[in-house]
Amino acid sequence: AHYYKFAEIVHGHELIRTSDKHWDYAGHPIVFDPNGVWSLPDNPSLSDYPVGSRSRLLAEDFCQLYLKVVHQLQLTFSGHPDKIDGTVSAMFLLRLKGEELVKVPLKEQDPSVHAGPLFENPLRFRPAGS
């Protein structure tokens, strides 16, 4: 589903069925406004986020939930299909956490760059004993 949403942006139109066996990007126009795109860091690392900042706390929460989603997907597709409901719920929560994260500046003194989602183990960056 993600691929088709991005393709609609690229093609500038919604994907619609045009015949019994054919689909085409010929639906309603998809308007892309580059002014509505926030500046996010390229390939961010948790070490880019100031310790104790709101962006760091949200990034750590996002990373922990991301790891949970990956773990639950592994369980689901390794013989535990009963885990799918919890996995899907965690995926929706991950989206909400990501949306919350990108609304805050990466560094409070520079509101021009927003925090971005990252996909790494947050425990790797914690000092021993914390």
Secondary structure of 19-43 as H, E, C letters = ECCEEEEEEEECCCCHHHCCCCCCC
- Per-residue pLDDT for 109 more than 60? yes
Residue 102 reports pLDDT greater than 90: yes
Q: Which of 74-83, 93-102, 103-112 has the lowest mean pLDDT?
A: 103-112
Q: What is the pLDDT of residue 128?
A: 47
Kindly report the pTM of this predicted structure.
0.73
- Average pLDDT of 57-78? 91
pLDDT band of 130, cuts 50, 70, 90: very low
pLDDT digits (tens, 9 = 90+) for 70-79: 889 999 999 9
